[in-house]
Structure 1
Amino acid sequence: MSDTLFTGPPAEIAPGAVHLPGWLPPERQAALVERCREWAAGPAGMLRHTMPRGGRMSVAMTSLGWFWRPYTYERTLPDGTPVRPFPAELGALAARAVEAAYGAPPAPGTPPYDVALVNFYDADARMGMHQDRDEAALEPVVSLSLGDTCVFRFGNTETRTRPYTDVELRSGDLFVFGGPSRLAYHGVPRTRPGTAPPALGLTGRLNITLRASGLAADPAP
């Protein structure tokens, strides 16, 4: 039996960009929150990266599979220790998410999902408009929301400005974007503090973003 539970119909926000409200049932949400706490307690913890122009991200982040820093992937953390492995459970979750969004799982032979970015938003955190273009593969990006509701701004592939569509992502929602929307600009202009389901015991918002890096498993030093 599938562990998915829809509380609303899927909505295509743009070609290849699909919002599936309530995709994760409450018990799966709670389990993922606990897993995020485990991952956040890893060697590097949750980091707020400094951008190339000197600004510091307001969103705290931990990486699994590959360590992301602006704008590249590495196999080691800033202190030289290996990044934590990509959990197989997240690879399976990504495959189910792609199938739920598009009606078919990732095709055999496509680059595997091997990166997870776990982002934490407190009441003041924001994410500016950006493209996910640091990967060598262009498999769909899978985004899962836990905790507080956010306003997710999904734009176009040419500019950070209009046209864009604002979508409310609530706890348990799935958002997948690939195909012609894979390189669309997107961001989070605000969250709605205090809207997390009380049973999660979470203050703030967690976002798990799953990607296929398309990078070699053992890159040359």
Structure 2
Amino acid sequence: MTVQTTPAGTPMPDTMEPEDDDVKIIADIDEPWLPSILTIETGLPTMGVALGAGLLGVSVNSGRGPLVAFMIGLFSAVLVFLAVIDWKTYRLPDAIVLPLYPALGLAVAAGVAVGAITPTAALTAVISMTAVFVILWLIAFFTGGLGFGDVKLGGLLALVCGLESGYAAALGALILPMILGGLVALPLLFAGRRKHEFAFGPYMVAGALLILLLPNVLVPISRGSLFH
């Protein structure tokens, strides 16, 4: 709860009823992420980038069928919003992240049913999701270096990237985010800002989008097989 003070500057405890109109008790917003993206200076650029990422996701994955292309395009757009929210508030809202698990699960199941996704690819995606979730959970639990919002997001990234391959899932949900985040975190450590609050979500999103939006480029390059 947020407590406003009287004109004399004396705070009112949040367990007391206000005695006059000068004192008001205002409930804090548990998830202050929505106001952070409803401003013109943040919301409009975010919408533009999300739309571009979504359209690019559909375009570059069109050869995998309309269902997969639409799923990746929509997921890419949502990831842009999540990156901005985490950057602004240091939160990855459960209200967005958790519903994506059943939504993407149903999309993958539908893809298998219509033949757009092979059972092997679906199984690889589920195994990748589970493995990455467990790895990130262990890091968060034993080191405190990650938030559990990052853990939940990591599972989603591995699920979608894992439709390409297990290697793509590891690259997009673990390796690239760690590299990109490390490039920023290490200078902060050397600058003595060890307790500086650090939003890891944008780097997780960036790593995954590199895989989802460049599916036939980045993985072959990382394997050294682009020109073979």
Same-fold call, TM cutoff 0.5: no
Of structures 1 and 2, the one scoring higher in RCO (CA 8 A, sep 6+) is 1
Q: Which of the pair is proportionally richer in strand?
A: 1
- Superposition TM-score tier, normalisation by shorter sequence: under 0.3
Larger radius of gyration: 2
Q: Which of the pair is proportionally richer in helix?
A: 2
